[in-house]
């Protein structure tokens, strides 16, 4: 019992969230570099001879230069075990990001120094607010021209309602970055570039006299701004941070590895360790309780040579031991864990035990879906991860009728992973399912994976529907034959969805049928 609690205190499980192109994948790689988990950082925008980003293992991710699917990286630093769950870097994959945020205890909010708080950043922040996930803010790309630091602090507070408390403060305006004042440790740190930013940036501590001699007016300005922060009391308060009232702020540049090591230390010092998690009845399950875990992601074919299916499980309580037989809460059936792995991007290693906060990959988990609970001992079920309301719809058909079996197998697999929502209707039949997506790029991923992994090329006929609502069988009968609307059944759970061309058409049909049941698919997030 004590061992489990002690191991839980060593864990830091977090995600990096940002608007696309804010540098999230570069930051993910830089953190792994500074923890010595890798020896050389890759790049999103590949220069000749440079490695790909560790967390972006899918071929489509490497060619497009964005994160499409979430991945888990596990490494150690200063006696702590870090579980970094990478999130997709495009708004079309918000649903995958939402699943990741159900599995972490802290988030790093990455802000572009030139663009500030962007729409996707705010949407993801709202999920953190709802889930009460503490947020550490990192102002990225300070080596490029951008806004003033004080202006960015004002925007953070105005847009998020969190009180910004800078841990570090930049010396030099955005685009002329020399180093930082570490307010927490009372240090002056100078950064020096390394070739291509592929290795750790060199750091050197300076005295105030050396800073004055080297940085001149930039040092004087930074000193005045730090004095202002001291005067207004913009100091870190751990209680306010953990209660989602304030956000520690750091400045740096992930591409050149400036300030990344300090962010890693801040995560070790400030990010909360795993604590009791509330079950579906809002009863907290202590970390010392027997094992329980939440499935937050399912991914097939990460290893093309084996074509297996892996369920990513966040350990919520107790000690996980490979080989233990757990109970699948959704079915009550036993689930054997003979093949359990720790993940590092696409790379894997057998894991014999894990503790609260860790992410375990369970191989050949065909019965598991995102949101499922596994447990040992007293029964527990954690709140399910809700599906987003789709806004894009298309009918999928196999281009080659001889590949119909591969087509169906691939569609079922992607549906189980949550890559796409698969809807069916008696009108079209199983050979022409309707794919429902949050964003259109999901269709591109489906086409790529069906062709690459299942050998089934598809054609897509896009439909005019733009919104969906949950309904019931009685309402489905009322809607039969209505123009600009249709009722489809979600394959994963047989939920009936009423889809409409637009809000006007939905309102018109509802006014004609006042008893119509139309419920939002997701009510607890604004993403």
Find out whether 109 and 18 touch, Cβ atoms under 8 Å. Answer: yes
Q: Coil, strand, or helix at residue 256?
A: coil
- Residue 90 assigned ligand-binding role: yes
- 73-to-11, 233, 346 alpha-carbon distances in Å: 13, 36, 9
CB atoms within 10 A of CB 477: 9
CB atoms within 10 A of CB 481: 7
- Residue 410 assigned ligand-binding role: no
- Residue 308 assigned ligand-binding role: no
The DSSP code for 339 is: S
DSSP, residue by residue, 41-87: ---SSPPTTPPPPTT--SHHHHHHTS--S-EEEEEEETTEEEEEEE-
Q: Coil, strand, or helix at residue 250?
A: strand
List the 202-205 sheet strands across, edge first: 168-171, 179-182, 187-192, 202-205
DSSP, residue by residue, 437-501: ESSTHHHHHHHHHHHHHH---EEEEE-S--EEEEE-HHHHHHHTT-TTEEEEEETTT--EEEEES
- Residue 89 assigned ligand-binding role: yes
Find out whether 415 and 422 touch, Cβ atoms under 8 Å. Answer: yes
- Residue 88 assigned ligand-binding role: yes
State how far Cα 293 lies from the chain centre: 18
Cα–Cα dist 425/310, whole Å: 30
Cα–Cα dist 293/323, whole Å: 15
Counting Cα atoms < 13 Å in the Cβ hemisphere of 114 gives: 10
Cα–Cα dist 435/441, whole Å: 12
Cα–Cα dist 155/133, whole Å: 20
* Stretch (H or E) spanning 297: strand 292-300
Per-state percent for the chain, helix, strand, coil, to nearest 5: 30, 30, 40
Write out the binding residues for GTP. Answer: 86-90
Write out the binding residues. Answer: 86-90
């Amino acid at each position: 019992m004590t061992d489990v609690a002690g191991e839980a205190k060593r864990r830091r499980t977090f995600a990096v969230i940002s608007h696309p192109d804010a540098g999230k994948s570069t930051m993910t790689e830089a953190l792994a570099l500074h923890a010595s988990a890798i020896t050389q950082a890759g790049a999103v925008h590949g220069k000749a001879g440079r490695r790909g980003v560790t967390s972006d293992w899918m071929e489509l991710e490497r060619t497009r230069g964005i994160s499409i699917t979430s991945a888990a990286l596990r490494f150690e630093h200063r006696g702590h075990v870090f579980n970094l769950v990478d999130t997709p870097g495009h708004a079309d994959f918000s649903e995958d990001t939402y699943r990741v945020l159900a599995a972490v205890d802290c988030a790093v909010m990455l802000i572009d120094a030139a663009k500030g708080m962007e729409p996707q950043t705010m949407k993801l922040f709202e999920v953190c607010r709802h889930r009460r996930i503490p947020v550490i803010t990192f102002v990225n790309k300070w080596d490029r021209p951008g806004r003033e630091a004080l202006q960015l602090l004002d925007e953070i507070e105005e847009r998020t309602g969190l009180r910004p408390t800078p841990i570090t403060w930049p010396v030099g305006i955005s685009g002329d970055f020399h180093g930082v004042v570490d307010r927490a440790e009372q240090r002056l740190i100078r950064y020096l570039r390394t070739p291509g930013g592929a290795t750790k940036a060199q750091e050197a501590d300076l005295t105030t006299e050396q800073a004055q001699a080297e940085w001149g007016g930039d040092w004087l300005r930074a000193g005045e701004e730090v004095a202002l922060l001291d005067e207004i009391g913009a100091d870190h308060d751990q209680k306010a941070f953990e209660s989602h009232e304030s956000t520690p702020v750091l400045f740096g540049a992930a591409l050149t590895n400036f300030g990344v090591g300090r962010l890693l230390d801040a995560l070790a010092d400030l990010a909360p360790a795993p604590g009791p998690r509330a079950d579906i009845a809002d009863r907290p399950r202590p970390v010392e309780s027997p094992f329980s875990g939440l499935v937050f992601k399912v991914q097939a074919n990460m290893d093309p040579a084996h074509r297996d299916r892996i369920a990513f499980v966040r350990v919520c309580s107790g000690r996980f031991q490979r080989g233990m037989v757990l109970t699948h809460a959704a079915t009550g059936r036993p689930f054997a864990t003979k093949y359990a792995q720790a993940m590092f991007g696409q790379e894997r290693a057998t894991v014999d035990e894990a503790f609260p906060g860790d992410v375990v990959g369970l191989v050949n988990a065909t019965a598991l879906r995102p949101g499922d609970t596994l447990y040992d001992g007293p029964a527990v079920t954690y709140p399910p991860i809700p599906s987003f309301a789709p806004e894009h719809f298309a009918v999928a058909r196999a281009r080659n009728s001889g590949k119909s079996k591969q087509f169906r197998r691939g569609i079922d697999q992607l549906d189980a992973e949550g890559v796409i929502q698969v809807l069916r209707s008696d009108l079209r039949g199983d050979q022409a399912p309707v794919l429902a997506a949050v964003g259109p790029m999901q269709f591109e991923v489906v086409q790529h994976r069906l062709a690459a992994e299942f050998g089934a090329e598809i054609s897509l006929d896009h439909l005019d529907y733009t919104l969906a609502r949950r309904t019931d069988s009685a309402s489905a009968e009322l809607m039969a034959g209505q123009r600009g609307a249709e009722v489809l059944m979600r394959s994963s759970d047989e939920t009936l969805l009423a889809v409409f061309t637009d809000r006007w058409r939905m309102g018109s049909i509802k006014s004609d049928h006042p008893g119509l049941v139309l419920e939002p698919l997701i009510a607890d997030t604004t993403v």
